[in-house]
């Protein structure tokens, strides 16, 4: 064997050895990621659906982040019984390398709780403080549902890379080594007698021994190198290179080297031909990826609304392509999600406040009962109501805890044992009685309890100490008045906004109510001044009073101060209720529908899906045709014992035409008919989908208008509840006439307790109703932006709350009419000015004509006189034509 042949064989062997390992799994993963991200980036350039910083990798702070190498993940915990079947199955020992990458003890990220403090705030007792922004951020980091949508989009991009690869030039290669040994002895067999054709058995005989090794792939069917190319015209082109080295080690060690280059081409002309068929799968996958990029962008909108108000309302990416079916919104806003929890929390707080007020009122009524000014029946009414309120509060707290756990698991992706504290700062504007405003009331009740525990023979010095302690209430009273002033200023600032939606009668009533409120504020200021003076006077008089009189003096002052505190709370509640403003939304459903058709991403996808089904008609129609293919193939070989000695004379070329008549096309016929029906179904579905979108927008528009009116109704309901509560509380503190000898003592009214309970109930329900309407209005505005397709999210996925589009159709039409009127007025003014000039010119002409006539008449008379005297007449100069004014040109 020559050295050149040996070197070439050695080189081929080295190449084979080098390619045995191929790319590592890490490289394959990186390549797949690169192809997918590039494909997504191509479709992610339009600002209408662009999503920044897309990545399929889970945030390292997530509970679901895998801390291990993705290419070498350790085996997770397995069921013990099932794991035995990996060690041994059907008596056969299993693979022994299952644990080579290690074992993992838990599935979730072990450090995710420690990392919470990096992006959330925690309370003193370790609870995670949850507001709108932190809830959204936590959901983006931890939500498995959101991560699944990201992964579906990624897989859709991988599908595109697969279809693109089908049109790339694909390379294949390999090299084989085979050794074949045949012994010298040829075994007995059958032979044929050529004379008569009879069979006979042959004896064993010795032949030639063979020890042959073949390196390479010698045939066109199994080449060493091959390139395949799918053409956009549906043709298939294949080119190959076959090469082999045969070494015979018997006797003289003979060898043979040969090579082969071949090609083949198949080009359909009828069935299966053309770009409509060849590019269908690629077109579908590319359009599906575009649809999924848009679906992901819209899913982020739905994800935001789901976290904040519990309404997803959209579909995310899907690998099976999009549909023409769009569900549409049902047309009425409701509150769930974070705001739903916030609403429940505030309703629980309102129930607690109501329960506390009822408890304190019960203590007041018990004292009145012991004084004989109210009956036991009315006291028991309050007791019964109080027990019912406690039971109701317990049920509310249970429902709240269940909803909170559901929110943790289903929305945020957190375990139920993680303690959360809902931050209620979002609803501060509609918390009519702020928590800090209750300090003075709580302090008064605490001091009353202390006074009630004093012994009957308490000394004057102790009473003086308590009186000086009461002075600590005066700064709280002053702060309360200052807070009221601030609330009144905020209310006044809201007046212009609110009056824009009022009639003249409503504006007058609103002004009267504000004046009454300010008058009440002035009464509170006067009461504060009197309370301060009365306390100073009581402190001076205490040394001169006995125990009963001193205690009575302090109790009276505390009761007056309590009335001040309770009334000031109601005044603040009234001022804050009147200060609430909301954006007025006047948006016709027809205009919102037009905007939605132009901007909704799912509508774009549905239109594309309809075209996909329409395109399938042509795709199925193609299969009904005859098969008519042009084929071409050829090869060239080496002639000598040399792997590169190709000679043209060894080549061969084959051309052909393949034809198959369309005799049997039943399945193709049915598929074609099905494609037509599917298209019509999808077309009707799209029409109905648009109807559902229209219906949802009509419902939302109507609901928003209703909520705007309802908010004003509930605002008045709050005002009425405040007034009723103020009056019923005053009834409790109303002094009664002292009992006359031999006469029963005067009592409070028979309905005092019932009126008080009704007032508390009305106050609680009116607050809850206003809260619900306010949150529903906010949710409806959010949903309207999403359903119209104009919701904008910032980089963190938060709604920017941009103003909704304004319908300028009527305004533009009116502007056009005004412009036409202005043009007509300008034209009329010009016409009038021209007519004035013409009139003046005509007047001047008339006067000149008259003067000329008079001169001519005078001249004529003079000429006649001259003729009588024998003189010749003088010629009269004619008036130049150019001197006559020309009338202005008119329209």
* 547-579 and 460-470 helices, crossing angle to 10°: 10
Report which of 408, 495, 488, 478 is spatially closest to residue 439, judged by C-alpha positions: 478
Alpha helices per DSSP H over 500-546: 504-541
Radius of gyration of the chain from its Cα atoms, rounded to whole angstroms: 49
pLDDT in tens, 646-683: 888 899 999 999 999 999 999 999 999 999 999 999 99
Token reading at 468: 């000086």
- Residue 336 is given by DSSP the state -
Provide the pLDDT confidence category of residue 198 given band limits of 50, 70 and 90. Answer: confident
Backbone angles phi, psi at 719, to 5 degrees: -60, -40
Sign of the dihedral through C-alpha 110, 115, 116, 119: negative
* 752-788 and 280-309 helices, crossing angle to 10°: 160
Residue 165 pLDDT > 90, yes or no?
Answer: yes
* pTM of the full structure: 0.85
Residue 242 pLDDT > 90, yes or no?
Answer: yes
pLDDT in the model for residue 860 = 65
Mean pLDDT on 452-456: 84
Residue 452 pLDDT > 80, yes or no?
Answer: yes
- Specify the residue for token string 């063979």: 210
* 460-470 and 504-541 helices, crossing angle to 10°: 150
pLDDT in the model for residue 880 = 43
Mean pLDDT on 596-612: 97
Sign of the dihedral through C-alpha 48, 52, 56, 58: negative
pLDDT in the model for residue 251 = 76
- Measured CA to CA in angstroms, residue 876 lies from 256, 491, 846, 852 at distances of 136, 91, 19, 10
- Number of Cβ within a 10 Å radius of residue 800: 9
Q: Is 710 left (phi over 0), alpha (psi -120 to 50) or beta?
A: alpha
Residue 242 and residue 220 in contact, taking contact as beta carbons nearer than 8 Å: yes
**3-class SS shares of the chain: helix, strand, coil, % to 5:** 60, 10, 30
CA separation for the pair 419, 122 (Å, rounded): 10
DSSP H or E segment with residue 202: strand 199-202
pLDDT in tens, 848-861: 777 777 776 676 66
Token reading at 272: 């299966």
Q: How many helices (H) and strands (E) does the chain have?
A: 19, 17
82-91, 204-213, 801-810, 818-827: range with lowest mean pLDDT: 818-827
Residue 322 and residue 632 in contact, taking contact as beta carbons nearer than 8 Å: no
CA separation for the pair 790, 340 (Å, rounded): 24
pLDDT in the model for residue 816 = 67
Decide: residue 193, CB within 10 A, 0-12 exposed, 13-18 middle, 19+ buried.
exposed
pLDDT in the model for residue 14 = 53
Sign of the dihedral through C-alpha 193, 197, 201, 207: positive
CA separation for the pair 808, 595 (Å, rounded): 12
CB neighbours of 661 closer than 8 A, spacing ≥ 6? 626
pLDDT in the model for residue 37 = 97
Residue 309 and residue 776 in contact, taking contact as beta carbons nearer than 8 Å: no
Mean pLDDT on 263-290: 96
pLDDT in the model for residue 891 = 34
CA separation for the pair 300, 792 (Å, rounded): 10
Residue 309 pLDDT > 50, yes or no?
Answer: yes
- DSSP character string of 839-889: HHHHHHHHHHHHHHHHHHHHHHHHHHHHHHHTPPPPPPPPPPGGGSPPPPP
pLDDT in tens, 437-451: 888 989 998 998 888
Provide the pLDDT confidence category of residue 889 given band limits of 50, 70 and 90. Answer: very low
- Number of Cβ within a 10 Å radius of residue 848: 13
CA separation for the pair 446, 561 (Å, rounded): 13
Residue 452 and residue 370 in contact, taking contact as beta carbons nearer than 8 Å: no
Mean pLDDT on 73-87: 95
Residue 686 and residue 606 in contact, taking contact as beta carbons nearer than 8 Å: yes
CA separation for the pair 241, 220 (Å, rounded): 7
Provide the pLDDT confidence category of residue 192 given band limits of 50, 70 and 90. Answer: confident
Query: Which 3 state secondary structure label does DSSP give 354?
Result: helix
Residue 247 pLDDT > 70, yes or no?
Answer: yes
Q: Is 497 left (phi over 0), alpha (psi -120 to 50) or beta?
A: alpha
CB neighbours of 165 closer than 8 A, spacing ≥ 6? none
- Measured CA to CA in angstroms, residue 537 lies from 20, 472, 527 at distances of 104, 16, 15
pLDDT in tens, 144-160: 999 999 999 999 999 99
Alpha helices per DSSP H over 580-600: 589-599
Q: What average pLDDT is seen over the chain?
A: 89
C-alpha atoms less than 13 angstroms from C-alpha of 362 in its C-beta half-sphere: 15
Report which of 815, 843, 837 is spatially closest to residue 886, judged by C-alpha positions: 837
- Residue 631 is given by DSSP the state E
pLDDT in the model for residue 504 = 93
634 DSSP β-pair partners: 263, 653
- Name the more confident of 703 and 368: 703
- Number of Cβ within a 10 Å radius of residue 172: 12
pLDDT in the model for residue 878 = 44
pLDDT in tens, 532-575: 999 998 888 888 888 888 888 888 899 899 999 999 999 999 99
CA separation for the pair 328, 695 (Å, rounded): 8
Beta strand pairing call for 627-637 and 255-268:
antiparallel
Beta strand pairing call for 236-248 and 205-206:
unpaired
Provide the pLDDT confidence category of residue 490 given band limits of 50, 70 and 90. Answer: very high
pLDDT in tens, 5-39: 445 555 555 555 555 556 799 999 999 999 999 99
Beta strand pairing call for 128-130 and 420-422:
parallel
Provide the pLDDT confidence category of residue 197 given band limits of 50, 70 and 90. Answer: confident
59-63, 168-172, 625-629, 724-728: range with lowest mean pLDDT: 724-728
Residue 291 and residue 608 in contact, taking contact as beta carbons nearer than 8 Å: yes
pLDDT in tens, 458-488: 888 888 888 888 999 999 999 999 999 999 9
Residue 1 pLDDT > 70, yes or no?
Answer: no
CA separation for the pair 495, 491 (Å, rounded): 7
Question: Most confidently modeled of 17-21, 674-678, 867-871, 884-888?
Answer: 674-678
Provide the pLDDT confidence category of residue 862 given band limits of 50, 70 and 90. Answer: low
Q: For the stretch 73-89, what's the b/e string if a residue is b when 16 or more beta carbons lie within 10 angstroms of its beta carbon? A: eeeeeeeeeeeeeeeee
CA separation for the pair 602, 325 (Å, rounded): 9
CA separation for the pair 416, 381 (Å, rounded): 40
Mean pLDDT on 455-459: 84
User: How many angstroms separate the first and last alpha carbons of the chain?
Assistant: 109
Query: Which 3 state secondary structure label does DSSP give 652?
Result: strand
Residue 358 and residue 760 in contact, taking contact as beta carbons nearer than 8 Å: yes
Number of residues written out for the chain: 891
């Amino acid at each position: 064997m020559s050295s050149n042949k040996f070197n070439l064989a050695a080189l081929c062997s080295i190449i084979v050895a080098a390619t045995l390992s191929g790319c590592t799994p890490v490289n394959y993963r990186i390549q797949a990621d690169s192809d997918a991200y590039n494909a997504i980036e191509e479709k992610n350039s339009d600002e209408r659906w662009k999503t920044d910083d897309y990545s399929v990798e889970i945030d390292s702070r997530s509970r679901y982040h895998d801390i291990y190498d993705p290419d070498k993940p350790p085996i997770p915990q397995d069921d013990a019984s099932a794991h035995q079947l990996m060690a041994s199955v059907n008596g056969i020992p299993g693979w022994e390398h299952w644990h080579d990458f290690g074992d993992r003890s838990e599935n979730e990220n072990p450090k995710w709780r420690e990392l919470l403090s990096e992006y959330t705030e925690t309370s003193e007792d370790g609870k995670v403080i949850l507001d709108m922004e932190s809830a959204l951020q936590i959901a983006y980091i931890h939500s498995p549902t959101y991560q699944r949508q990201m992964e579906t989009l990624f897989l859709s991009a991988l599908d595109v890379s697969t279809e693109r690869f089908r049109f790339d030039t694909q390379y294949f290669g390999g090299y084989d080594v085979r050794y074949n040994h045949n012994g010298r002895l040829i075994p007995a067999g059958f032979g044929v007698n050529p004379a008569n054709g009879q069979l006979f058995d042959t004896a064993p005989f010795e032949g030639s021994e063979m020890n042959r090794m073949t390196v390479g792939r010698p045939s066109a069917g199994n080449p060493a190198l091959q390139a395949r190319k799918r053409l956009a015209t549906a043709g298939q082109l294949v080119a190959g290179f076959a090469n082999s080295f045969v070494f015979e080690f018997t006797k003289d060690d003979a060898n043979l080297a040969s090579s082969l280059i071949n090609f083949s081409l198949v080009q359909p002309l009828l069935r299966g031909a053309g770009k409509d068929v060849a590019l269908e799968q690629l077109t579908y996958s590319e359009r599906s990826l575009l649809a999924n990029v848009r679906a992901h962008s819209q899913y982020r909108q739905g994800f935001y609304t789901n976290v904040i108000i519990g309404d997803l309302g959209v579909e995310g990416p899907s690998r099976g392509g999009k549909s023409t079916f769009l569900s549409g919104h049902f047309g009425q806003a409701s509150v769930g999600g974070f705001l739903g929890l916030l609403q429940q929390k505030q309703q629980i707080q309102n129930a607690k406040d109501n329960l506390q007020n009822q408890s304190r009122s019960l203590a007041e009524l018990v004292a009145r009962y012991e004084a004989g000014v109210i009956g036991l029946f009315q006291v028991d009414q309050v007791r019964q109501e109080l027990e019912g309120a406690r039971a109701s509060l317990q049920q509310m707290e249970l429902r709240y805890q269940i909803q909170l756990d559901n929110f943790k698991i289903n929305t945020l992706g957190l375990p139920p044992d993680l303690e959360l504290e809902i931050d209620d700062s979002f609803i501060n504007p509609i918390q009519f009685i702020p928590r800090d405003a209750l300090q003075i009331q709580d302090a008064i009740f605490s001091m009353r309890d202390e006074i009630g525990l004093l012994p009957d023979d308490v000394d004057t010095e102790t009473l003086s100490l308590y009186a000086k302690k009461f002075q600590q209430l005066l700064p709280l009273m002053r702060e309360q008045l200052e807070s009221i002033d601030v609330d009144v200023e905020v209310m006044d600032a809201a007046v212009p906004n609110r009056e824009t939606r009022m009639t003249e009668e409503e504006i007058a009533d609103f002004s009267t109510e504000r004046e009454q409120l300010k008058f009440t504020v002035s009464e509170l200021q006067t009461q504060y001044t009197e309370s301060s003076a009365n306390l100073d006077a009581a402190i001076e008089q205490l040394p001169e009073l006995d125990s009963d009189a001193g205690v009575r003096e302090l109790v009276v002052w505390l009761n007056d101060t309590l009335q001040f505190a309770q009334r000031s709370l109601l005044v603040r509640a009234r001022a804050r209720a009147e200060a609430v403003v909301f954006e007025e939304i006047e948006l016709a459903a027809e205009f919102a529908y037009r905007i939605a058709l132009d901007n909704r991403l799912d509508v774009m996808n549905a239109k594309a899906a309809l075209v996909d089904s329409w395109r399938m008609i042509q795709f199925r129609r193609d299969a009904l045709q005859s098969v008519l293919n042009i084929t071409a193939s050829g090869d060239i070989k080496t002639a000598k014992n040399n792997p590169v000695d190709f000679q043209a004379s060894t080549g061969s070329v084959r051309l052909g035409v393949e034809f198959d008549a369309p005799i049997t096309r039943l399945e193709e016929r049915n598929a074609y008919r099905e494609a037509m029906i599917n298209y019509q179904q999808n077309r009707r579905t799209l029409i109905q989908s648009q109807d559902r979108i229209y219906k949802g927008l009509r419902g939302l528009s109507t609901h928003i208008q209703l909520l705007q009116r309802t908010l004003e109704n509930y605002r008045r309901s709050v005002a009425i509840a405040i007034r009723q509560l103020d009056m019923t509380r005053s009834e409790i503190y109303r002094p009664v006439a002292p009992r006359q000898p031999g006469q029963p003592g005067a009592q409070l009214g028979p309905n005092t307790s019932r009126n008080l309970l009704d007032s508390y109930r009305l106050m609680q329900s009116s607050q809850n109703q206003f809260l619900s309407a306010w949150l529903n209005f906010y949710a409806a505005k959010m949903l309207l932006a999403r359903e119209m397709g104009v919701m904008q999210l910032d980089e963190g996925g938060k709604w920017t709350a941009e103003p909704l589009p304004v319908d300028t159709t009527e305004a533009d039409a009116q502007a056009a009419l005004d412009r036409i009127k202005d043009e007509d007025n300008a034209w009329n003014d010009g016409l009038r000015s021209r007519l004035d000039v013409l009139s003046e010119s005509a007047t001047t002409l008339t006067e000149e004509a008259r003067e000329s006539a008079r001169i001519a008449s005078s001249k004529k008379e003079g000429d006649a006189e001259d003729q009588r005297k024998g003189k010749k007449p003088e010629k009269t100069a004619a008036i130049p034509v150019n001197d006559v004014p020309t009338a202005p040109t008119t329209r």
